Structure 1
Amino acid sequence: MKTIMDPSEGHSATHTATQPHPFWVMVRKEIAGHIRSWRFLVLLLLILLTFWGSISVAMSNIREVLGNVKDPDHLFLYLKLLTTTEGTLPPFHVFLNFLGPILGISLGFDAINSEQQNGTLTRIMAQPVYRDNLLLAKFVSALTLVGSLLLTLSLLMIGGGILITGVLIEAEEVFRIIGFTILCTVYVGFWLGLSIFLSILFKQASTSALTAIGIWLFFTVFYQIIINLVAKAFMPGANELAQMELFQYNDLFLNLLRLAPSQLFTDATTTLLMPSVRSLGPLTMEQMAGAIPSPLPLKESLMIVWPQVSGLIAATTLCFAAAYYLFMRREIRG
């Protein structure tokens, strides 16, 4: 709080002005820096092109999809816009599984080491600013930017769908799309937290970027190959196992696959955007008996997907906590 003299008054009138908190000043500065950078503009253009391509393909096939009465999800027009494909381009949520890590890594791989190399980290720490505020501002600013971008794309998709088709969106579709947007933000936040941690761990920005990209490629490509090879090597033949034992082995290897963040994201988005999905694992004939193919309510879909969502949140929190611990113990010299 500060006192300001009012010259228009004959007496000494005072007004109080509230100074913004240094944390929010740094958040605005980081957001402005990201928006002005060529790196973010290129990624923004790439995401907009993939969004436009996938939505255009979905729009061209939407009449055929809505006419398929055998599909239990055929009435969810706006969910179909995010999941429909004709084979030329994958759906938008599959694109985000690939582009989300690149976006998170690009926003965080030089968050700290570039400041130290340029000599600005020492000058920032010389100000009355806490270390945790600096680190949290870099994380919150990038995550706010990503969340705003994804929410804007979702609103554009809904608005364009209403203008083209004239069909009003249902309340359940709104909640599912909002949940999908939050889930995508958390997924990008995991890679953002990991890249910030690597930017503290390594002094060179190139080293932290290559390490983050290597981890992403391992979990996206090679991890599934390794799990499949292990399954073929150690899992007995189907003829040698009873049905329950076979299901137990399948559950084990599915749980191992879900250690990869991309698999958690795929399972969660599939359940949120496809209401007819009733399980993320194999079902026995007893469990399928009497089941009618119909969409699940939003609450039940969230119950199915909650382990995957909590796993992504826990992984994101763990990465940021590791970055926080390392940064608070780091010695910063001029």
Structure 2
Amino acid sequence: MVRKEVADHIRSWRFIVLLLLVVLTFFGSMYISLSNISRAVGNTNDPDHLFLYLKLLTITDGTLPPFHVFIGFLGPLLGIGLGFDAINAEQNNGTLTRLLAQPVYRDNLLLAKFTGALIVISVLFLSLGLLMIGGGLLFTGVKIEPQEFLRIICFIVLSIIYIGFWLSLSILLSVIFKQAATSALTAIGIWLFFTIFYQILLNLIVKAFLPDPALLSQEEVAKYNNVILTFLRFVPSQLYTDGTTTLLMPSVRSLGPLSMEQMANAIPAPLSLRDSLLIVWPQLCGLTAATMVCFALAYYFFMRREIRT
């Protein structure tokens, strides 16, 4: 079943269009990065200037955003595009009844839908990551350090988990709604709300209920900033942004405000991969837990759904 799902995704025009969109943005970002890599590496004021291959994923001249920013925006569309009609299209075409008439459990069907799409996404991003490393080797001739390679692999894994959340959410909506168009529009609406409108609403609420920052002490301002960051991290894209910033910029020591005492006692050096993973671990667990919750809800509703009508 997984093999069939993978083959169906690869042959579909929907996946081909999404693939071309992601690959074109990748090559555009890599072209901008390679064009400015010498200037970025030569900037000694940048604490991350020695990490050449990480710079390929983060530097830009303002023409195009870096690749990880593109993934934060296009990744949900890829996950939604591969899962919004996973169940309701089968039922509308009449193939779901014939499929479950065979000795096939419903949970196996959901797992095959999710696993097949996730395999396609994983192969795509792993190929793009290796292509970026190979292009950097050919263009610069500088060998990649083990820590850089591991950070890029961790970035790819985080991207797969992030897109897997939207894939799981779209499969859940395909179970709830009978029409594929309804599930697709609902998933896109949720994505737009979290991407654009959530932060606008949060800023309005903060301005309405929190006191004027000019009247607060430094410690009180730090507490209010932590509260705002906590609410922002209910958004999957914010978790992904925090994770990619920490993994691709080793000089990032914290994802929240630091006190003067913490800044004074900090050693001005890039963090090790282990320390960066400790910082990003809550974001990784949050995205994984959200994915599992969406899949569990999809399983619950699918088990209670009547498929013979």
Name the TM tier (shorter chain).
over 0.9
Residue aligning to 1:133: 108
* 1:230 and 2:205 aligned: yes
* 1:82 and 2:57 aligned: yes
Counterpart Cα distance in 2 of 1:156 and 1:244 = 46
Counterpart selection for 1:180 from 140, 147, 155: 155
Counterpart selection for 2:72 from 90, 97, 108: 97
Q: Which one-letter code corresponds to 2:93 in the other structure?
A: N
Q: Any idea what SS the aligned residue of 1:289 has? A: helix
Counterpart Cα distance in 2 of 1:307 and 1:330 = 34
The C-alpha deviation readout for 1:35-82, integer Å capped at 9, x for no partner, is: 000000001001110000001000000000110111111111110000
Counterpart Cα distance in 1 of 2:164 and 2:213 = 40
Residue aligning to 1:57: 32
Counterpart Cα distance in 2 of 1:236 and 1:285 = 23
Counterpart Cα distance in 1 of 2:109 and 2:115 = 10
Q: CA offset at residue 284 of structure 1? A: 1.2
Counterpart selection for 1:269 from 228, 231, 244: 244
Q: CA offset at residue 292 of structure 1? A: 3.9
Q: Which one-letter code corresponds to 1:233 in the other structure?
A: A
Residue aligning to 2:132: 157
Counterpart Cα distance in 2 of 1:238 and 1:227 = 16
The C-alpha deviation readout for 1:251-303, integer Å capped at 9, x for no partner, is: 00110011000000000000000000001111111111143432100010011
The C-alpha deviation readout for 1:147-188, integer Å capped at 9, x for no partner, is: 110000000000111111110000001110110001000000
Q: CA RMSD in A?
A: 0.8
Q: TM-score, normalised by structure 1?
A: 0.91
Counterpart selection for 2:231 from 235, 238, 256: 256
Structure 1 unaligned spans of 5+: 1-25
* 1:121 and 2:118 aligned: no
* 1:143 and 2:121 aligned: no
* 1:200 and 2:171 aligned: no
- Percent identical among aligned pairs is 69
The C-alpha deviation readout for 1:208-250, integer Å capped at 9, x for no partner, is: 0000000000000000111111111112122322222211111
Residue aligning to 2:306: 331
The C-alpha deviation readout for 1:11-33, integer Å capped at 9, x for no partner, is: xxxxxxxxxxxxxxx00000000
Larger Rg: 1
Residue aligning to 1:4: none
Matches within 5 A, 1:7-22: none
Counterpart Cα distance in 2 of 1:139 and 1:254 = 31
Q: TM-score, normalised by structure 2?
A: 0.99
Counterpart Cα distance in 1 of 2:76 and 2:301 = 22
